[in-house]
Amino acid sequence: MTGSTRGVTSDERGVLARYASFLPVTPATPRLSLQEGDTPLIAVPRLAAWVGVSELFVKFEGMNPTGSFKDRGMVVAVAKAVERGARTIMCASTGNTAASAAAYAARAGITAVVLLPRGKVAGAKVSQALAYGARAIALDTGFDAALDVARGLTARYMVELVNSVNPHRIAGQATAAYEICDILGDAPDVLALPVGNGGNISAYWAGFRRYREAGYTTSLPVILGGQAAGAAPLVLGHPVESPDTIASAIRIGRPASWETAVAAATESHGEFRAVTDAQILEAYREVARREGIFCEPSSAAGVAALRDSVAAGRTSADATCVCVCTGHGLKDAQFAPGLDDQAAPLPATVEAVAAALGLAERS
């Protein structure tokens, strides 16, 4: 039909359609999509002033279909699994990977099994995974041991592993780097992001290098990885037995992508920085209050690390910086202010509310 006004359908948008030439897509790969990717790159001048740099952007990955960056890689991993005839996928997760795996499995008509460390996953993420129809299994352990179980199971049984050790995940997540370069016209000077299992930092570095090799950019960014101080194996240089932080998404002591994460930081002349829970929560609040961007606490670790790096004189105030805010605030709102934190309730009258607000009367 010509002259259709139906607009762009989901088959024409999304990571697989947009960046097919950079992805392991073959004619046999199903064109799976929930219209993931193409997330906002938002200029954030008030946050820049707080961080201490002249030019700052937030790449808001919370705007993906399931509310985190995981969707970029999951769509590729699930499409490739379906292409190979898989009927069941599996991951261990601190929550976001589980929600994403569950959504794309539903979309593809296959089954997702998610292994979750009991009592350590934000409730909304568990709700998401279950709502999408995943089989969720709680394990009495942390993320690291849960991932060991997922790897053991998928090596032995007919189940596809979709954790970020799956190279299709990394290839898909690299598309976020392409989008940043497409908007800025070149790579930024500095890219800061939270680091847990080490997959995303590896993906960004691979993406920036690939785009430069393809001739789309002329430079590479310095990559700054923020880790929670109580879960900072990459800062310490050794695994952490019992990682501890309020940033539950990155509560990881033994990153699976250790070598590639370290390569991203060192080859880019960047580093890993540990930030305390207090610094993470402060950054989390400033991102929301200064710019209207609500990300989850873990997501703010990159912002906190960048501010810390500027204060320490490691990052120049003149640098063009991008902070990746990896997940949406509604996923993990337990540290957000609540109504009970406000002043005591008022009588339900116009006069009482006007007096409390000190409003000027209309003349």
Task: Please give the residue ranges that form the binding site for ligand F0G (CB under 6 A).
Answer: 68, 70, 93-97, 164, 194-201, 249-250, 296, 298-299, 326-327
Q: What are phi and psi of 223, to 5 degrees?
A: -105, 125
Rounded distance between C-alpha atoms, residue 279 and residue 300, angstroms: 9
Q: How far is the CB of 211 from ligand F0G (least distance, A)?
A: 19
Instruction: List the structure tokens of 227.
Output: 């880790």
State which residue, 166 or 217, has the beta carbon closest to ligand F0G: 166
Q: How far is the CB of 93 from ligand F0G (least distance, A)?
A: 3
State which residue, 66 or 309, has the beta carbon closest to ligand F0G: 66
State which residue, 14 or 142, has the beta carbon closest to ligand F0G: 142
**Residues 155-193 as b or e (16 or more Cβ within 10 Å = b):** eeeebbbbbbbbebbbbbbbbbbbbbbbeeebbbbbbbb
State which residue, 179 or 332, has the beta carbon closest to ligand F0G: 332
Q: How far is the CB of 144 from ligand F0G (least distance, A)?
A: 10
Q: How far is the CB of 295 from ligand F0G (least distance, A)?
A: 8
Rounded distance between C-alpha atoms, residue 114 and residue 132, angstroms: 12
Rounded distance between C-alpha atoms, residue 363 and residue 85, angstroms: 72
| DSSP H helices in the chain | 15-18, 45-51, 70-83, 96-108, 123-131, 143-156, 167-173, 175-184, 199-213, 233-236, 258-267, 277-291, 301-311, 350-357
Q: How far is the CB of 102 from ligand F0G (least distance, A)?
A: 12
Contacts of 8 (CB under 8 A, 6+ apart): none
Q: How far is the CB of 154 from ligand F0G (least distance, A)?
A: 15
State which residue, 97 or 268, has the beta carbon closest to ligand F0G: 97
State which residue, 14 or 329, has the beta carbon closest to ligand F0G: 329
To the nearest 10°, the Cα dihedral for 55, 59, 60, 64?
160
State which residue, 31 or 120, has the beta carbon closest to ligand F0G: 120
Q: How far is the CB of 350 from ligand F0G (least distance, A)?
A: 43
Q: How far is the CB of 349 from ligand F0G (least distance, A)?
A: 43
Give the distance between the most distant pair of CA atoms in the chain: 77
CB 102 within 8 A of CB 74: no
Rounded distance between C-alpha atoms, residue 225 and residue 268, angstroms: 11
State which residue, 35 or 64, has the beta carbon closest to ligand F0G: 64
